[in-house]
Amino acid sequence: MWRGNAWPATLLIAGMVGYGLFISLSMTTWGDYKQLSADPVFLESVGISLYVAVSSTVLAVLIGAGLAGFFAKQTGWAAQILAVPLFLPHLGAAYLAILYLSDFPVIGPHEVNQFSIILTYLYKEIPFVFFYLLPVYRRLDHRYEELGLMLGLSRIKRFWHGKGVFLLFPVLEAAFIVFAFTLFAYEVPALLGVTYPKLIGVYTFDLYTQGDLSRQPEAFAISVLLTGILFLLLLLFTRMIRPLTERISKGRIE
Amino acid sequence: MRRRIITGVTGLLILVPLLGLIPSTWTWNPRLFETLATTISMIVALTLLNHSIGYITGKAIAFRAGRLIRSMEILISLPLFLPVLLLSFGLYLTWIRLGLADQFVGVLLVLLLPTLPYTIRIYTNAFQALGEQMMEQMVLIEPSRIKRFVFLTGPMMRSAIQSVTLLVTVIALSQYALVTLIGGGVVQMIALEAFPLYSGNSLIAAKEATIWLLVLPFLIYFVQLMLLEAWVRLVRRLLDGRYDSARQ
Amino acid sequence: MIKQMTAIAATGLLLAGCASPAAPVQEKVLGSSYTSIVKDANATTVRMYMWGGDEGINAYIDEYVAPKLKKEHKITLKRVPIETADLIQKLRAEKKAGKETGVIDVVWINGDNFRNAKKDGLLYGEITKVLPNMKYVDPQAQGSDSGTPTDHLEAAWGKVQYTFHYDQASVKNPPQDLQELKSWVKENPGKFTYPEVTDFTGNAFVRHVMYGLESKETLKDPKADFKKTWAYLNELKPYLWKEGKTYPKTLAQLDQLYAKGSVAFTMGFNERRAEQEVKSGTFPKETRPLILKDGSIASTHFLSIPFNAPNPNGALVTINTLLSPDAQFKKFDGTYWGDGTSLDLTTVSQKEQQAFEEVPAAESTPKPAAFEGKVRAELDPAIFDMIRKDWPERVAR
């Protein structure tokens, strides 16, 4: 029994997620979903949310991973500096954006290019990715890369066999977490976003709280739809990547 | 040399913005202050819950095997990838029926959703780093679970404990929509006052709110750091070769 | 393992049980006399939910009303900055789930929020019949809320006229009507904007445009196609702040822009709203009022009690206090809010009447003569909703 017990956590989390999903589902009808797929406001909101999420994720992961790799051996001051944004809640980071970027034309808040939102996310997520990947980089065995050198592999092949295979799963994990977070967030886009199109988290929350009950089923339908899609993505992810990493760590099965 | 440059640039980009938070005048916003009591108790309760549940769950995932545990791991990670705020629309109705809406406990439970997955992940990694063999050794040396935690496993997980508390604090402080929805304006956390200030007239009031948002995690982090150090020192003093078979 | 599961399940049930407070029996308080209501309300807590985006209004409640209630009735007033639209959603959910005892005692409400609340039975009941201070309230203001009969469900709290404010230093020749406004905006790009229509004030701006451009028949029919309005707004769009690509989310944000000087106009439902801001230096010193020839909507706002208020006695006493001539006067003068009174001044004492009339009007407040012939009634609340639905598609995109 000293091996711990995963049941309380599972019941609590799966229970709340499942129940929330179930109730949301029960408040919608098939017609709501059909209506959504044709609703231009909804689709544009999804479009811009994807744009923000993908850009934030790609940039955060590239820079964060790059920094982690760079500082893996000897961190020095870098780790302390990069830890600071971790202490600031996202809400505070939004304030910094308002404070500094307000007077700039392109990167200021309330711009259609959403740069202020992306920059705010970068401020918070780069340290997150950095600290998430740092232990992974530290555990890398450099002998694989040396082996590659000795065997005369090309740079790309060297990188892949020496580091890439070990980094793949953690990097994708970190990317997925950042992606899901930036896609659905509310507080930051609510403060820094534009009137139209709204990011999907803000749009759905506004639909839910607006005076007339008539639009609530839309809000519920959006929640169910997005949850469903991401759940599928998650399953695909684990189904496809897990065997890949097992194959990598165990070696090719001849 | 390149390292210095990169460190320097990072330092500039990250730290310089924070200079803007330094207050020129200090006004005590009474409404912000009122929310502090609820905020801090919520954070303490949430952290304790996270630690207790995270510890046993992380251990289970690290040391057990099998399909059941793997599926549980996925289920637990769900909130990381799903829109928690949107799902809470459905939860809200259930909470009303259960009498949990507008209650401290109701908000506490809901805040578990964005925090537990991270916590469990951190503890899982910590236990994996510890290693099953080391864990077994500890069980052999000290069968009493409480004593084992206090003397052995606990101190070895110091950095995990630090990270968990920090993450829980920062995530909880940022939740405006979730707390307003489920807490109904009754559970007043600092975000409830801070968020409207950001879109209002007074930039000074907004700055004050942000200072609190930054100070609270730092404060909690350092208080915990000192507690942990004291713990380790105490343990060392108490143990003082107790388990040393060579001691007379 | 089973032991742990049982423990967890038990804790869950315990929490669920503990969580709901012992619901007090919701007696129909409205049958009792006011004196017994006051007695029951003594030393209780009242929660008031209202929009918190204006520091002047917040100060009025926090610094004047709350201490007054404390002194006179030992009531602790808690102000919660949650908007009416958000709490209607909350009340609806609570009604659906059968929550007999809620957390909201007093709500600030009017317009389409009132109509929705009335339709869904979210309000407590005929509260005005029990309040002694109703004798001062102007029956004209009280009778109907934007066309919906109030039926004693809410009490008129204040009366305001929509007013534009501009900075005389940068606007030498202010436009007098919508067409002149359009020309001014075209000549001064980026210096004008209005809040988006989910905000009450922004929605009202669109209603003013409707009054100026649409015929009387169109205005009566919420389902009509308000082509001229959308056309006007679209003509304005490229010359607005940020080229109309985004609009301030709230009135507070528009005020922020006006205070900074990014735009030259602001607007709102209170002809005296600028007084405090000019005094404190937030708004430009030369702020002046502007009433467009096309009209200014007169709006009454109300107070009410939700169906599941936990402290209806306290709520009634609070509302009664807010209707008293003293509180109305403090609300009217420039210290905090400057909100027009809902009282019929012929019913109050001579001294009090004089006090109201003697409140000096600042430069930024329009003289009553400015409103002659321009006062417009509120439009059908269904139009508010229609604006919220159509404006994003027809203008904002």
Structural domains of chain A, with CATH? 39-246 (1.10.3720.10)
Minimum Cα–Cα distance from A105: chain C residue: C242
What distance in Å separates the CA atoms of residue C39 and residue A182, rounded to the nearest whole number?
53
Q: How would DSSP label each residue in chain B?
A: -HHHHHHHHHHHHHHHHHHTTS-SS----HHHHHHHHHHHHHHHHHHHHHHHHHHHHHHHHHH--SHHHHHHHHHHHHHHHS-HHHHHHHHHHHHHHHT-TTSHHHHHHHHHHHHHHHHHHHHHHHHHHH-HHHHHHHHHH---HHHHIIIIIHHHTHHHHHHHHHHHHHHHHH-SHHHHHHHTTTS--HHHHHHHHHTSS-HHHHHHHHHHHHHHHHHHHHHHHHHHHHHHHHHHHHHTTTT-TT--
Give contacts of C22 with chain B, Cβ < 8 Å.
none
Rounded CA-CA distance C31/B127 in Å is: 66
3-state secondary structure of C284: coil
Percent of residues in chain C assigned helix, strand, coil, to nearest 5:
50, 15, 35
Q: Could you report the per-residue pLDDT of A73-130, keeping only the tens digit for each?
A: 777 788 888 899 999 999 899 988 888 887 787 888 888 889 999 999 999 999 999 9
ipTM of the prediction: 0.86
| C123 and C96 Cβ atoms separated by less than 8 Å | no
Report the C-alpha gap between C281 and C23 in whole angstroms: 48
CB atoms under 10 Å from CB of C325, counted, come to 20
Alpha-carbon torsion, ordered C303, C304, C310, C313, to 10 deg: 80
Report the alpha-carbon distance of residue A184 to residue B82 in Å, rounded: 8
Contacts of A99 in chain B (CB under 8 A): 17, 20, 203, 207
Highest mean pLDDT among A9-13, C83-87, C346-350, C374-378: A9-13
Of the two residues B165 and A160, the one the predictor is more confident about is B165
Q: Flag the least confident range among A71-80, A215-224, C121-130, C184-193.
A: A71-80
Asked if residue B85 belongs to a domain, the reply is yes
Q: What confidence tier does C7 reach under pLDDT thresholds 50, 70, 90? A: low
User: What token pair was written down for B122?
Assistant: 């951190």
Residue B173 belongs to a domain with what CATH number? 1.10.3720.10
pLDDT at C27: 52
Instruction: Judge residue C30's burial from the number of C-beta atoms within 10 Å of its C-beta, 0-12 exposed, 13-18 middle, 19 or more buried.
Output: middle
Give the span between the Cα atoms of C383 and C147, in whole angstroms.
12
* pLDDT above 80: residue B81: yes
- Kindly report the average pLDDT of chain C as a whole number: 86
The H or E element that residue A236 is part of is helix A216-250
Range of the domain at B58: 28-236
Between CA B220 and CA C243 the distance in angstroms is 45
Residues 6 or more apart whose Cβ sits within 8 Å of residue A130 = A64, A67, A68, A82
**What pLDDT shows up at residue C17?**
43
From the candidate CATH numbers 3.40.190.10, 3.40.47.10, 3.50.50.60, 3.10.20.30, the one assigned to the domain spanning C31-158+300-358 = 3.40.190.10
Q: Is C96 on the interface with B (CB under 8 A)?
A: yes
β-pairing verdict for C45-49 and C106-109: parallel
Instruction: Parse chain C into domains and list their residue ranges.
Output: 31-158+300-358, 161-298+362-396
pLDDT(B245) > 60:
no
What is residue C161's three-state secondary structure? strand
| Inter-chain touch A9–B90, beta carbons under 8 Å | no
The answer as to whether B245 is a domain residue is no
Our CA-based measurement puts residue B197 at a distance from the nearest CA of chain C, in whole angstroms, of 8
Phi first, then psi, for residue C220 (nearest 5°) are -75, -20
Residues B232-235: contacts with CB under 8 Å, at least 24 apart: B232/B155, B232/B158, B235/B150, B235/B151, B235/B155
* pLDDT above 80 for B101: yes
Q: For residue A240, which phi and psi values (nearest 5 degrees)? A: -80, -40
CA distances from C120 to A212, B102, C92, C307 (A): 11, 22, 8, 10
State how far residue B230 is from chain A, nearest Cα, in angstroms. 23
In this prediction, residue B247 has a pLDDT band, given cuts at 50, 70 and 90, of: very low
pLDDT in tens, C123-167: 998 888 889 999 999 888 888 888 889 899 999 999 888 999 999
Give the tokens for residue B202.
């007074």
pLDDT (tens digit per residue) in C10-53:
555 444 444 444 333 445 677 788 898 999 899 999 999 998 87
Task: Name the nearest CA neighbour of C242 among A105, A96, A191.
Answer: A105
Q: What is the DSSP letter of C61?
A: I
Of B193, B86, B116, B44, the C-alpha closest to A91 is: B193
Q: Please give the Cα distance from B130 to B146 (Å, whole number).
A: 18
Across-strand partners of C77? C46
How far apart (Å, rounded) are the C-alpha atoms in residues A82 and A78?
6
> Could you tell me which chains touch chain A, where touching means 3 or more CB pairs under 8 A?
B, C
Judged by a CB distance cut-off of 8 A, whether residue C94 touches chain A is no
Architecture of the domain whose range is C161-298+362-396: 3-Layer(aba) Sandwich (3.40)
| Whether C90 and B184 lie within 8 Å, measured CB to CB | yes
Burial A241-252 (b: 16+ CB within 10 A, else e): eeeeeeeeeeee
Q: What is the C-alpha separation between B30 and C275, in angstroms, rounded?
A: 25
Report the SS3 class of residue A103: coil
Number of domains in chain B: 1
**B32 contacts B193 by C-beta, under 8 angstroms:** yes
pLDDT for the residue numbered B244? 56
Residue B241 lies in a domain: no
Residue B241 or C224, more confident? C224
Which of C16, C53, C93 is the closest to B100 by Cβ?
C16
pLDDT tens digits, one per residue of C258-301: 988 889 999 998 888 888 888 878 888 889 999 998 889 988 99
Q: Do C396 and A7 touch (CB under 8 A)?
A: no
Q: How many CB pairs under 8 A join A and C?
A: 55
The model's confidence at residue A65, banded by pLDDT at 50, 70 and 90, is very high
Average pLDDT over residues A57-80: 87
- What's the confidence (pLDDT) of residue C329? 92
Domains C31-158+300-358 and C161-298+362-396 share a fold: yes
CB C48 within 8 A of CB C61: yes
Residue predicted with more confidence, A57 or A144:
A57
Evaluate whether residue B200 is within a structural domain: yes
Q: Across residues C172-191, what is the average pLDDT?
A: 91
B82 with A17: CB under 8 angstroms? yes
CA dist., res. B55 & res. B157, Å (int) = 10
CB of A104 less than 8 A from some CB of B: no
Is B55 contained in some domain? yes
Give the CA diameter of chain A. 70
